[in-house]
Amino acid sequence: MADFRTMEDIAEKFTPLVLSVAKRYQGRGADFEDLVQEGYLALIILAGKCRDMKWLPLFLKKRLPAAVRDAASRMRRFRTDGEELLLEEIEETQGAEDEKYGEAELREMLFRALSQEELDMTQALMEGFTQKEIAETLGISQQAVAARLKKIRRKLKKLIDAAS
């Protein structure tokens, strides 16, 4: 497992990923250099969102392409629509704050109901990891992951029933 002590370590380790993703979306509304910059920015943001560094390589592999693709799309739309579109995107961002509040409430409820290991597994699922990928990372079988998820679902069902 890689040891990432600083953001420079992360940037150095994942430069090939940033460059390959930028190359993939080059010509879709943005120059290669702009996409590389967006890729590094996304890398910094995503690294901060990854709760456990052992998941970082897989987390970035799944999330970085979408971030760069979205940046290319924004650049393309901005070039065609100008300032009006930029204002629409700002308004969309403000509406997303309500969703973040609901997500924070959900996270608080989960922290109270689940153990740290269960939270980590739930987080991995929410980030799009498969049971097989979780099992490989934790060094357990896929069946063990399925059994633990079943236990988590029972706990959450009790929590939801109590809240109703």
Between residues 24 and 74, the one the model is more confident about = 24
For the chain, give every domain's residue range: 1-81, 114-164
Q: Domain 1-81 maps to which CATH number in 1.25.40, 1.10.1060, 1.10.8, 1.10.1740?
A: 1.10.1740
Residue with tokens 């633990």: 148
Q: Per-residue DSSP letters for 99-119?
A: HHHHHHHHHHHHHHHS-HHHH
| 114-164: in CATH 1.10.540 | no
pLDDT of residue 119 exceeding 60, the answer is yes
pTM for the whole structure: 0.49
pLDDT of residue 101 exceeding 50, the answer is yes
